[in-house]
Amino acid sequence: MVHKMKNGRVIQLALLVLTLTFGAPSLVTAQVPDLKTGAPIPTLAPLVRRVTPAVVNISVHGRVREDNPLYRDPVFREFFDVPKQIEKEVNATGSGVIVDALRGFVLTNNHVVEGTSTVQVTTKEGRQFSAKVIGRDPPTDVAVLQIQSPVGLKALAFGDSDALEVGDFVLAIGNPFGLGQTVTSGLVSALGRTGLGKQGYEDFIQTDAAINPGNSGGALVSLRGELVGISSAIISPAGGNVGIGFAIPANMARRVMEQIIATGHVERGHIGVSLQDPRLSGARAEGALIAEVLPNSPAEMAGLRKGDIVTMADDRPIRSAAQLRNKVGLARVGQELKLMLHRREGTSIVVVKVAPRMERGAAVISGGFGLTSRRPSAGLAAPNVSAAPAHATDGYLLGSNRAAA
């Protein structure tokens, strides 16, 4: 089950069982400090003392509508004298990260503050502040709060999440089960995780640092003391940590935050291509394969062709179609992207300008193609999420493995 880590909100995913083959273990000699010599004992305490004041507990209060099909039946409502909409009060807790101490901006998850009327932020020292929601972006599950009258706050600096590697040590800091601030440690287990069916834009950092319900919106911190991710989801058969947690990359969260602060919302553009992973066509393992190019699109005008494989964007490696889609979808409209392409005749570099999304009839167009939601595969269920409309822009074409950008 994939759990959104806000108490009372759960998305369940039944996982397929995979057969794993392990090689013979190699012998490793553990290095234990000799306490008799007075050698310093390894500890993360100085780092923890420095970064934890920027991680806050978030308490929310609001009202949400009961989503019961019977309530939409006029005969049922009339017979039982039930109002057209029934709402219930919700009190929940989550986590957040102060990223701007002077202006009081806090990053958290959209699902932590969705549908709330009041938000209270509590620091590690127990100071309480009222906060307002500046803006939310459901496709990335990012929300930005602003603390009212921010005084004496400490912020956490952004790190470069694109520079993370599998095997890097990280700390997860949050408010699991409402217990209060908790620190756990682990490794970056994988990068670029997609296909969880959780958000429209997925590029998750996977970690085995213990993440539990209530950690949503909390910090994933590097050993440099920098924010590299925002905790967002876990996979668990029983609701607790089993060593598979997911965080939104800090670079993605930062781009979303900057647009929300500037305009109150996120404006997404397109370049007019359909993408798929190269391995699906038997080509090279990494990159983003151009499956289709929309006529008269920014991509066509820049010289992109069907069959091109994008290997870098703005001098950053592109590992998958989803990563390039995220890059385009989070770029500002009018921004120019430098793409390195692999073609049969060699390597080329093109510059393409991101254009506003267009509409074709009633369908929303992202990347020049009408997008429908990718339905969960057999054995997967999302009971607390309403069915997506036919024009939902989650970036996948129904019945294919293509993403649009």
Residue 332: partners with Cβ closer than 8 Å, 6 or more residues away = 259, 267, 269, 354
Quote the pLDDT of residue 334.
85
Quote the pLDDT of residue 404.
61
Q: Which of helix, strand or coil describes residue 79?
A: helix
Quote the pLDDT of residue 348.
86
Q: Is 18 left (phi over 0), alpha (psi -120 to 50) or beta?
A: beta
Q: Which of 137, 141, 203, 277 is catalytic?
A: 141
Percent of the chain exceeding pLDDT 70 equals 69
- For the ranges 50-59, 178-187, 316-325, 393-402, which has the lowest average pLDDT? 393-402
How many residues are present in the chain? Answer: 405
Displacement of CA 102 from its chain's centroid (Å): 26
- 49 exposure class (CB count in 10 Å sphere: 0-12, 13-18, 19+): exposed
d(CA 52, CA 156): 9
Q: Which of 3, 111, 270, 342 is catalytic?
A: 111
111 is catalytic: yes
Is the pLDDT higher at 187 or at 284? 187
Supply the DSSP string of 164-222, one letter for each residue. --TT-EEEEEE-GGGS--EEEEEEEEEEEE--SSS-SS--EEEE-S---TT-TT-EEEE
Closest CA to 5 of 303, 195, 211, 160: 211
Residue 91: partners with Cβ closer than 8 Å, 6 or more residues away = 59, 60, 61
Q: What is the pLDDT of residues 369-402, one digit of tens each?
A: 222 222 233 222 222 222 222 222 222 222 234 4
141 is catalytic: yes
Instruction: Give pTM, 2 decimals.
Output: 0.70
Q: Which of 59, 95, 161, 216 is catalytic?
A: 216
